[in-house]
Amino acid sequence: MTDVRPAVGVGGHRDGPESAVSAQHDTGSVLHTLFHSEQGGHEQVVLCQDRETGLKAVIAIHSTALGPALGGTRFHAYASEENPEEAAVKDALNLARGMSYKNALAGLDHGGGKAVIIGDPGQHKTEALLEAYGRFVDSLGGRYVTACDVGTYVQDMDVVSRASRWVTGRSPENGGAGDSSVLTAFGVYQGMRASAKHLWGDPSLRGRKVGVAGIGKVGRHLVGHLLEEGAEVLVTDVRPEAVEQITAAHPEVVAVADTDALIRTEGLDVYAPCALGGALNDETVPVLTAKVVCGAANNQLAHPGVEKDLADRGILYAPDYVVNSGGVIQVADELHGFDFARAKAKAEKIHGTTLAIFERAAADGVPPAVAADRIAEQRMAEARKAGAAS
């Protein structure tokens, strides 16, 4: 049987002699981030290895103040100039912290966590590897609950669940909720309506010109919501076949050559980044014509300060981790016996949450991203205080 003890435990309850064993690579910058930077403060980081299956993984638990950490499992190769293992740890730390904030603002009784399996999912993903990973998840005793992320899918969570009960995002056949992109898109749509309400006084998107960059599972559903409301929709994607599929299904949708052309479109009301992170950066913000940015992509702000650049240009930014939380709302509901209507009702509250963030931003004189962070941090601090007092 595979030894499922964590190779390295930081701040958790499973530290022992083996916790002093670390990778031979330089982890100084990672440890500095963990222990000394504002991006750190994580409760526990677990390095997982199963040589028989080739599994190398990182599980990062940022906070359990609100409840068990909840966040997906990313399967990625990390083709980086730096050490790929160190890059994976950095990614896990960043993503886990983001999940704490996302879950707090989604009103969930969950903290934030994230896992990364290092490798090319097209080459290295096997059922044996996923089961080995599941044993590591199970060894944490419910402190971390996993789900799908980039490179993992519903069928993968079905396999992981063979080795652990702390798995969501499973197929309906296995007691799960299935594809979470439906409620992710619905939540982004609610955030977009809140943005319209705040900026133009009316939540309706009818007649608004909306550009969607990235029309994968979430983007396709979002386009559907927009068309139903009567918006004028423009799309782009790096995959020509994705564009062809959406325009074939909806001839009224306008295809744009690329993201650069999309963000420069004259008369664009809303820009919805729904592909990779870093979409809002020093090159894109100065030429962006839209008055609202509201999309499903994670980590849209390329670096600190971009949120101020948007505000200085009069562009309203709906924080990504707020509006794209419909998916985590869905998988969290699965832990209680999934009910789609119940989960959708919770996702609908993203509208009100987004409006509250805009109001807090105006009151505090800060960009919406800063206001969102403050609200999330307040909820987590209150939970920690209540926990300490009990």
pLDDT band at 23 (very low <50, low <70, confident <90, very high): very low
Task: Give the residue-averaged pLDDT of 290-305.
Answer: 94
- What is d(CA 86, CA 75) in angstroms, rounded to the nearest whole number? 15
- What is d(CA 342, CA 349) in angstroms, rounded to the nearest whole number? 11
Does the annotation count 114 as an active-site position? yes
We find that the CATH architecture of domain 8-34+41-95+110-174 is 3-Layer(aba) Sandwich (3.40)
List pLDDT tens digits, range 334-346.
Answer: 999 999 999 999 9
- Of the candidates 300, 382, 347, 320, the one whose C-alpha atom is nearest the C-alpha of residue 106 is 347
We find that the CATH architecture of domain 181-378 is 3-Layer(aba) Sandwich (3.40)
Marked catalytic residue, from 56, 90, 102, 114 = 114
Pair 127, 101: CB distance under 8 Å:
no
**From the CB of residue 216, how many other CB atoms can be counted at a distance below 10 Å?**
14
Cβ partners under 8 Å of residue 133, min gap 6: 48, 50, 55, 57, 73, 115, 117, 160, 163
Residue 333 tokens, joined = 């509901």
Q: Tell me the residue type at 301.
A: L
**From the CB of residue 94, how many other CB atoms can be counted at a distance below 10 Å?**
18
Q: Tell me the residue type at 285.
A: V
- What is d(CA 324, CA 181) in angstroms, rounded to the nearest whole number? 9
Lowest mean pLDDT among 173-182, 203-212, 345-354: 173-182
Using CB atoms within 10 Å of the CB of residue 15, give its burial: 0 to 12 exposed, 13 to 18 middle, 19+ buried: middle
Maximum Cα–Cα distance across the chain: 64
- What is d(CA 109, CA 187) in angstroms, rounded to the nearest whole number? 18
Using CB atoms within 10 Å of the CB of residue 257, give its burial: 0 to 12 exposed, 13 to 18 middle, 19+ buried: exposed
List pLDDT tens digits, range 69-90.
Answer: 999 999 999 876 568 888 899 9
- How far, in whole angstroms, is CA 28 from its chain's centroid? 26
Domain with CATH 3.40.50.10860 in the chain: 8-34+41-95+110-174
List pLDDT tens digits, range 372-381.
Answer: 999 999 999 9
pTM here is 0.85
Question: What percent of the residues of the chain are helix, what percent strand, and what percent coil, each to the nearest 5?
Answer: 45, 15, 40
Lowest mean pLDDT among 21-30, 61-70, 360-369: 21-30
For residue 19, the model assigns a pLDDT of 29
pLDDT band at 27 (very low <50, low <70, confident <90, very high): low
List pLDDT tens digits, range 248-265.
Answer: 999 999 999 999 999 999
Residue count of the chain: 390
For residue 215, the model assigns a pLDDT of 95
The enclosing H or E element of 102 equals helix 84-105
**What single-letter DSSP state applies at residue 284?**
T
Domain with CATH 3.40.50.720 in the chain: 181-378
- Of the candidates 24, 28, 96, the one whose C-alpha atom is nearest the C-alpha of residue 61 is 96
**From the CB of residue 115, how many other CB atoms can be counted at a distance below 10 Å?**
30
Cβ partners under 8 Å of residue 272, min gap 6: 188, 192, 210, 211, 212, 213, 219, 222, 293, 294, 295, 296
- What is d(CA 367, CA 236) in angstroms, rounded to the nearest whole number? 28
List pLDDT tens digits, range 45-69.
Answer: 999 999 999 999 999 999 999 999 9
